[in-house]
Amino acid sequence: MNPQKTGLLSLYFGIFLMSLTGLFAKSIPLDATSITQLRSTVAIVALFIYCMLRGSSLRLKSFKEAAGIYGLGIFMAIHWVTYFHAMQVSTVAIGMLSLFSYPVITVLLEPLFQKKLPARADLIAGALSFTGVVILTMDDSTGLGGAALTGAAWGIFSALIFSIRNILQKYTYPDVPSGTLMFHQVVATAVILIPFVDFGSVASLELDKWALIIALGVLCSSMAHTLLALSLKRLPAKSVAQISCLQPVLGALLAWFVLKETIAPQVLGGGALILAVAAWESYKQSYRPRAVS
The pLDDT assigned to 145 comes to 53
The pLDDT assigned to 161 comes to 95
Q: Residue 37 — very low, low, confident or very high, per pLDDT cuts 50/70/90?
A: very high
pLDDT digits 0-9 by tens, 90-135: 777 677 777 877 877 887 888 888 788 877 887 887 788 778 767 7
The pLDDT assigned to 105 comes to 82
Which residues lie closer than 8 Å to 278 by C-beta, 6 or more apart? 242, 243, 245, 246
The pLDDT assigned to 292 comes to 40
243 has a pLDDT exceeding 80: yes
Q: Residue 9 — very low, low, confident or very high, per pLDDT cuts 50/70/90?
A: very high
5 has a pLDDT exceeding 70: yes
Q: Residue 195 — very low, low, confident or very high, per pLDDT cuts 50/70/90?
A: very high
Q: Residue 290 — very low, low, confident or very high, per pLDDT cuts 50/70/90?
A: very low
Q: What is the mean pLDDT of residues 197-208?
A: 94
Per the model's pLDDT, the better-predicted residue between 196 and 272 turns out to be 196
